[in-house]
Structure 1
Amino acid sequence: MTDQLKLANQVCFPVYTLAKEIINQYRPILKEMDLTYPQYLVMMVLWESKEQTVSEIGEKLNLDSGTLTPLLKRLETKKLITRKRKKTDERVVAIALTPEGFEKKEMAELIPERVAESLNISMEELNELKRITEKVIKKIKS
């Protein structure tokens, strides 16, 4: 077996493991808000942009409508968002926050620091990890 094929020498495995571990750190925090991690991602898009179409949310989160639609239905059931077809084009569904959905933002503002704390790293280290990750993703997509 060559050294290149040893699991310990692979970049993909620690990145995969880290992604799972980071998401696992979010779970108990998000449970307090009655949100799953994918629901949290949708909420962040809406806190930032108020109203978005399903396709706009999908584009920002790299999710297809088949994955996004049931997720949005659950958020609507929780009364955190509304889904309305555009009058100008009924194929387009606009997603907007409800007052209850907007209120969750205040609780969510503490999440990044709580996650960094649970990972036992500083916000600076977390931001450096994000910067490097974004750099690699950008190079892959260019």
Structure 2
Amino acid sequence: MNKPKFRAWDESDKKMIEWEHLINYCDIGYLFGGYDGGFGKEGPKSYEYPIPMQYTGLKDKNGVEIYEGDVCEWHIPDMGRPEPDAMIRYASVVEYRQGSFNLSGYLFPNVRLIKVLGNIYTNPELLNEVE
């Protein structure tokens, strides 16, 4: 089993904090919103603390690590068309829901079919492509 790995979005500085920086320079309480657990009745305190995103343990077809919050493109065969190479394109956000990672509610297809396009924080315009 892989050790958990994270990156975090720093809302105040508008930048992604990578894993190496998190493990070497950040207090775990800082990452997860202080010693109160960081999740009060209002949800994560993103205005003060970085927003953590967990690594899924998977890489896309180009070898890019897939994290929560990533927007991914994937294709499945279009069985309703006669062309043998006809495909349906999807764009979905990686989420952790009900104990597993998924793509906007879909189970992960073969990772050789997935391409990371960006993430919801550094590329918010990609949300327009999500189905």
TM-score range, shorter chain: under 0.3
Higher relative helix content:
1
Higher relative strand content:
2
What TM-score does the superposition give when structure 2 sets the normalisation length? 0.20
Q: Which has the larger radius of gyration?
A: 1
What TM-score does the superposition give when structure 1 sets the normalisation length? 0.19
